């Protein structure tokens, strides 16, 4: 009887409670495993986001560096071109000055030649007029 009673208590109270506790323990273990896995996945996502952001940052820094190099190259080329333009401007000024001097000399030579030509023409005209007068005076004397 006591054995029956113990079996009865065991079957009705202890074994169902034990089975319930085993089920709850298994569920708790699954829940803790799921939480641990969730935490690992969250850390993995954070690490992935950090790595992606770091790659974007490094890419941007590289691009900025490349653009700074290009800007420096453009500035150097600009200064070289500016120097070349200044040199060409100097050459143009020198050539213009030489040309103006030459034109001035040529113009003075031209003016001198014109004066000589006018003077020669005047002398020729005067000579012609004198010859004409002499001819007329010779004709009037001979008539």
Is 52 domain-assigned?
A: yes
Domain of residue 62, residue span? 1-101
pLDDT at residue 31, rounded to an integer: 97
Q: Is residue 134 situated within a structural domain?
A: no
Per the structure block, which two tokens stand in for 26?
Answer: 């298994």
Tell if the pTM clears 0.95, that is, is over it.
Answer: no
Q: How many structural domains is the chain composed of? A: 1
- Of 34, 36, 38, nearest to 46 by C-alpha is 38
Question: pLDDT tens, position by position, for the chain (143 residues)?
Answer: 888 888 888 888 888 999 999 999 999 999 999 999 999 999 999 999 999 999 999 999 999 999 999 999 999 999 999 999 999 999 999 998 888 888 778 788 888 888 888 888 888 888 888 888 887 877 766 65
Closest CA to 99 of 107, 109, 110, 88: 107
What pLDDT does 125 receive?
85
**54 within a domain of the structure (yes/no):** yes
- First and final CA of the chain: distance in angstroms? 202
What's residue 133's pLDDT? Answer: 83
């Amino acid at each position: 009887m006591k054995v029956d009673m113990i079996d009865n208590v065991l079957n009705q109270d202890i074994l169902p409670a034990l089975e319930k506790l085993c089920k709850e323990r298994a569920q708790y273990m699954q829940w803790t495993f799921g939480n641990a896995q969730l935490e690992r996945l969250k850390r993995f996502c954070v690490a992935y986001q950090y790595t992606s952001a770091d790659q974007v940052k490094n890419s941007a820094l590289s691009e900025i560096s490349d653009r700074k190099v290009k800007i420096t190259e453009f500035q150097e080329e600009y200064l070289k071109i500016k120097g070349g333009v200044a040199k060409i401007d100097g050459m143009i000024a020198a050539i213009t000055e030489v040309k103006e001097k030459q034109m001035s000399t040529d113009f003075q030579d031209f003016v001198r030649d014109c004066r000589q030509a006018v003077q020669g023409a005047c002398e020729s005209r005067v000579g012609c007029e004198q010859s004409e007068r002499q001819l007329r005076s010779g004709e009037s004397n001979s008539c």
